[in-house]
Every structure is written in C-alpha cells, then in structure tokens.
Amino acid sequence: MDSDKTAKPSFEAALAKLEAIVDSMESGDVPLADLLAKYEEGSKLLKVCEGRLKEAELKIEKLKKAKDGGAAFEPFETTRPE
C-alpha cells in the first residue's frame, strides 16, 4: 500500500517543483499557513531529489566497477549546500 513510491516524480520534475516552491516562498507574498505547507512539500521533494541522486551515485559506482573489472570503488564526490 505504498502508493507514494509509484507516484514519485522524476528528479527533474521534483527539482523544478522545489525551485518553484522556493521562489514563491522567497517572494514574501505567501501567508504563514501556506508557507508551512510549502515547506513540508519542499522537504518531501528534497528527499526525493536526494534519493534519486544517491541511486545515480550507486549506479555510477557499479558501472565503474564493471568497466574496470576490479572490486575497488571510487566514491562519487558530492557537496551539499549548507
């Protein structure tokens, strides 16, 4: 019954929606109740984006391993804005 797994947007769609939410929140024209709802939605979208990036990172590591034939992984360097 985990229907939100099948309903998760693509990385690009989630990122675009997240950017739209941030823009509307930064405009200062959003009432507090809406701000809280937008923050909650943005948090969920951020988790979706982070999950998609982690999946991509793992795929890159697997592809590198398969290409090299070796067992050593080179971690994919990521930086997260604070």
Question: Which CATH number characterizes residue 36's domain?
Answer: 1.10.287.1040
Residue 81 domain flag:
no
List, as own/partner pairs, every contact residues 9-18 make where C-beta atoms lie below 8 angstroms and the sequence separation is at least 24, other chains included: 9/45, 9/48, 10/52, 11/48, 11/49, 11/52, 11/53, 11/56, 14/45, 14/48, 14/49, 14/52, 15/45, 15/49, 17/41, 17/45, 18/42, 18/45, 18/46, 18/49
Number of domains in the chain: 1
Per-residue pLDDT tens over the stretch 14-69: 999 999 999 998 988 889 889 999 999 999 999 999 999 999 999 988 888 777 66
Mean pLDDT, residues 7-18 taken together? 89
* Owning domain of residue 33: 10-68
Is the pLDDT at 2 greater than 50, yes or no?
A: no
Q: Is the whole model's pTM more than 0.75, yes or no?
A: no
Q: Is the pLDDT of residue 1 over 50?
A: no
